[in-house]
Amino acid sequence: MFVGELTFPITQIKGVGKVTAADFASLGVEKACDLVTLFPRSYDDRTVMRSLKDMGDEGGTINTAVAITDHSHYMSKGQRVLKMTARDLNSGRTLHLHCFGRSFMENAYPVGTSWFINATVTKTGSVFSASAFTLGASEEAVGIGTILPVYPLSGSLTQKTVRKAVDTILSNRYMKFDDEIPERLRLAHDLMHMDEAVRQMHHPGSMGELEKARRTLAYTELLHLEVNLVRGRQERAPQDRTVVVSPLEKRLVSSLPFHLTKDQEKCLDEIRRDLDWSTMNRLLQGDVGSGKTLVAWIAALHMIAKGFQVAFMAPTELLARQHAEGAATLMEKLGVHVAFLTGDVKGRERGYLLDALKKGDIDLAIGTHALFSKDVVFKSLGLVIIDEQHRFGVEQRQALSHKGKKVHVLMMSATPIPRTLAMTVFGSMDISTIESMPEGRRPIVTHIVDERNRDRMYASIAVEFERGHQAYFVYPRIDDEGESDLKDVTTMYSFLQGKYPGIPSALIHSRLPEEEKIRILDDFRAKKLMYLVSTSVVEVGIDIPDATCMVIEHAERFGLAALHQLRGRVGRSSLQSYCFLVYYGSLTEEAKARLKVMRESTDGFMIAETDLKIRGPGEFIGNRQSGFLRLKVASLTDDVELMAQAKADAEEIVKDDRGLLRADNAMLRQLLG
């Protein structure tokens, strides 16, 4: 049978009553199969002898033999406590055993007797003592020689209850778990049978076998996930077909003051192949400033040249407008009709726009999610591009594709995505990656600044102003409506005006009216303003080539992804740029680690991997969507290689046998449906 077929409720297990069942339920354990897959969170390895000689100052557990040498008593909190003195037979050292509420031990373990012991020892000065310990007449009695499972607990559950419940199920001799991966893969990757793996997880024979069991279960879990993902994906566009680059695209490229990078070309080739020969569902990822937008415009032209309309969606009005202006500059001269649509476009203007979209007079519509409200009708929508979106819902995507007959979707990620997430969350999409930056970019120099030593920072920014370069000063937005944050930026703003008299600047925050924000950004782009003081509204997408300084106040409060995004607002041309991470007070270890990563690396892919390790997948994909990633055994941060293997195997399986009809894939069909 498969593990998942053990569906009887745990209340049928001897010794599991109502209260215990409720405690188990809060661990997500309701059926027998849940219990069998409630794997230990750690193990107590008693296979190696450890005596007091092996204890450092921090103490630890011992597995050894002792002789009881003395009994005495003392008073603690009004209670008479037995203290037994014991000599560790393996080191000759002395151990004090405090028997709180266990005075029966006086008779059970008389002076002069010897026992095996497992104990958690603390060391105070040169004195070893323990109050949590087990004494026994044999090694087995105290678990010496075994590796004990340590389970997650809840409510009144104890290790003993959980161990007993699990063992009761596993002790059924007639029950044997069937493999859940094809035999050829089990052999090829040197994995265990499922039955053995499950048992080894609960009662490992050795740490080596435990690792093999863990690998078996992790691989099984990942293979199932990947097979599902690969099956749900469109069939790949054939590699041997030719793609034709339209004159429209060529004219845009030749009008640019630079060449496309090799990676931009490679991504475009992948995209065009989809657009010509398949239905695209593709994620375009690349570090901040790597030039994703341009790739998107060229992809848009590819469809426009074929007579289709393209919709481009940005997360905020500000960004949508920036893109609309950029697109108009690049493409109107090629005869492409670009329109801008947000929720704020109302009345006659809106009516006119909607009409033009419906008639097909507009080729490229750029806007916010308002593009996909009900009243917006396209004549022939062929491609939807979604910018800077790292949190998106499946529903949203579906709403889009219903606006046309066969709509291609291109997503652009705001931040590089860790490999494991790319293989899982985004596994049903194809991925194009821009790995390298346009030529001539210099790595941003990052300084970590104690808030009390900010004067040097201000001095070096003043030098940048003299060179005609611009700066951002960012305050954290802790929540959208927080009065106190606003006060912070306002105070900061007048403080900076004192520091830089005569240098034009503006304060920008999320509660300003949209037109006001737009005006400020336009002035900043036109260099009528030299610096902006802001809450993190500048976080995504804003592209101002001459801005070379980014000051982030309270950097310790930002996550890595946000810091990297913010820093990415500078260093967008060949000018040398600087980022100052200003911190307040003393830093937690985690904050220190984060800032250190930021100082040492400008590689968004590496930063994203670290962020995943520190904060988990919810940060990247939204907590709501990260649910299906609650893998029981496999780890998103440690099992990268195993996941890549499972993905490759899944591709292979689906390529030859999409319906999982072959006999050796039969169990996958049964398990995955």
- Provide the binding-site residues for Mg ion, judged by CB under 5 A: 293, 541
* Residue 603 in the binding site for ligand ADP (CB under 6 A): no
Tell me the CA end-to-end span of the chain in Å, nearest whole number: 16
Binding partner at 438 among ligand ADP, Mg ion, none, C-beta below 5 to 8 Å by kind: ligand ADP
Residue 37 or 293: the one with the smaller Cβ distance to Mg ion is: 293
CA atoms of 519 and 506, how far apart (whole Å): 10
Number of Cβ atoms within 10 Å of the Cβ of 541: 23
Nearest distance from C-beta of residue 541 to ligand ADP, angstroms:
6
Judged by CB under 6 A, how many residues of this single chain contact ligand ADP? 16
- Residue 629 contact partner, candidates Mg ion, ligand ADP, none, CB within 5 to 8 A by sort of partner: none
Distance between CA 109 and CA 133 in Å, rounded? Answer: 13
CA distance 480 to 399: 27
Determine, following the binding rule CB under 6 A, whether residue 572 of this chain makes contact with ligand ADP: yes
* Closer residue to Mg ion (CB): 118 or 293: 293
* Nearest in space to 103 (alpha carbons), one of 79, 133, 82, 74: 82
The C-alpha atoms of residue 329 and residue 292 are separated, in whole angstroms, by 17
Question: H or E element: which one contains 75?
Answer: strand 60-76
Q: Which residues, numbered 404-463, are part of the site for ligand ADP (CB under 6 A)?
A: 438
Residue 291 interacts with which of Mg ion, ligand ADP, none, CB < 5 to 8 Å by class: ligand ADP
Pairwise CA distance, residues 248 & 300, whole Å: 10
CA torsion 653-655-659-665 (nearest 10°) is -20
**Cβ of residue 431: shortest distance to ligand ADP, in angstroms?**
15
571 interface partner picked from Mg ion, ligand ADP, none, CB below 5 to 8 A per type: none
Residues 6+ apart with CB under 8 A from 656: 662
Q: Are 134 and 118 a contacting pair, CB within 8 Å?
A: yes
From Mg ion, ligand ADP, none, interface partner of 390 (C-beta below 5 to 8 A by class): none
Q: Are 210 and 193 in contact (CB under 8 A)?
A: no
Q: 286 or 382, CB closer to ligand ADP?
A: 286
- Alpha-carbon distance of 503 to 497, in angstroms, equals 8
Contact of residue 665 among ligand ADP, Mg ion, none (CB under 5-8 Å per partner type):
none
Q: By C-alpha distance, which of 647, 593, 153 is closest to 421? A: 647
Minimum distance, C-beta of residue 268 to ligand ADP, in the bound complex (Å): 11
CB of 530 or CB of 544, closer to Mg ion: 544
Is 258 a binding residue for ligand ADP by CB under 6 A? The answer is yes
Q: Restricting to residues 90-129, which ones interact with ligand ADP according to CB under 6 A? A: none
Are 95 and 119 in contact by the 8 Å Cβ rule? The answer is yes
Q: Which is nearer to ligand ADP, 264 or 433 (CB)?
A: 264
Q: Alpha-carbon distance 278 to 234, whole Å?
A: 8
When the beta carbons of 46 and 572 are compared against ligand ADP, the nearer one is 572
The angle, 0 to 180 degrees and rounded to 10, between the axes of the packed helices 18-25 and 159-170 is 90
Sites for ligand ADP among residues 493-512 (CB under 6 A): none
**C-beta atoms surrounding 599 within 10 Å:** 14
Q: What mask, x for binding ligand ADP by CB under 6 A, covers residues 275 to 304?
A: -----------x-xxxxxxx----------
**Pick 168 or 389: Cβ nearer Mg ion:** 389
Q: Shortest distance, CB of residue 547 to ligand ADP, whole angstroms?
A: 11
Contacts of 558 (CB under 8 A, 6+ apart): 476, 552, 566
Instruction: Find where tokens 């475009």 sit.
Output: 268
Of 115 and 312, CB closest to Mg ion: 312
- The widest CA-to-CA distance across the chain, in whole angstroms, is 100
Nearer to Mg ion, 118 or 415 (CB): 415
Tell me whether residue 260 or residue 328 sits nearer to ligand ADP (CB atom): 260
Q: Which of 543, 603, 651, 657 binds ligand ADP (CB under 6 A)?
A: 543
Q: Give counts: helices (H), strands (E), the chain.
A: 23, 20
Query: Residue with the closest Cβ to ligand ADP?
Result: 291
Task: Tell me the closest approach of the beta carbon of residue 385 to Mg ion, in angstroms.
Answer: 11
Task: Centre a 10 Å sphere on the Cβ of residue 451 and count the other Cβ atoms it contains.
Answer: 14
Question: Shortest distance, CB of residue 625 to ligand ADP, whole angstroms?
Answer: 23
Residue placing its CB nearer to ligand ADP in the complex, 214 or 323: 323
Taking the complex as a whole, the smallest distance from the CB of residue 533 to ligand ADP amounts, in Å, to 23
Which lies closer to ligand ADP via its Cβ, residue 260 or residue 640? 260
* 540 makes contact with ligand ADP (CB under 6 A): no
Applying CB under 6 A, among 51, 261, 413, 415 the residue interacting with ligand ADP is 261
Return the number of the residue (312 or 583) whose C-beta is nearest Mg ion. Answer: 312
| C-beta of 64 vs 470, nearer to ligand ADP | 470
Least Å distance, CB 198 to ligand ADP, is 46
Cβ proximity of 165 and 16 under 8 Å: yes
Q: How far from chain centre, in Å, is Cα 15?
A: 40
Q: How many CA atoms, within 13 angstroms, populate the side-chain half-sphere of residue 267?
A: 29
Token pair for 393? 């819902």
Q: What residues pair up with 133 in beta bridges, in sequence order?
A: 119
Query: Which of ligand ADP, Mg ion, none does residue 290 bind to, with CB < 5 to 8 Å depending on kind?
Result: ligand ADP
Q: At its nearest, how many Å lie between ligand ADP and the CB of residue 544? A: 9
Structure tokens, 671: 């398990």
Please pick, from the candidates 49, 170, 245, 260, the single residue that binds ligand ADP as defined by CB under 6 A. Answer: 260
Which alpha helices (DSSP H) does 156-206 contain, by range? 159-170, 183-188, 194-202
Q: Which stretch binds ligand ADP (CB under 6 A): 56-64, 255-263, 267-275, 501-509?
A: 255-263
Of these partners, Mg ion, ligand ADP, none, which one is at the site of residue 55 (CB under 5 to 8 Å by kind)? Answer: none
Question: How many angstroms separate the Cα of 481 from the Cα of each of 42, 74, 509, 511, 631?
Answer: 43, 60, 11, 8, 36
Q: Which stretch binds ligand ADP (CB under 6 A): 23-31, 39-47, 259-267, 417-425?
A: 259-267
Contact 520, 509 (CB under 8 A): no
**Shortest separation between residue 543's beta carbon and Mg ion, angstroms:** 7
Minimum distance from CB of 294 to ligand ADP (Å)? Answer: 5
Tell me how far apart the alpha carbons of residues 540 and 536 are, in angstroms, rounded to a whole number.
9
Residues near ligand ADP (CB under 6 A): 258, 260-261, 264, 286, 288-294, 438, 543, 545, 572
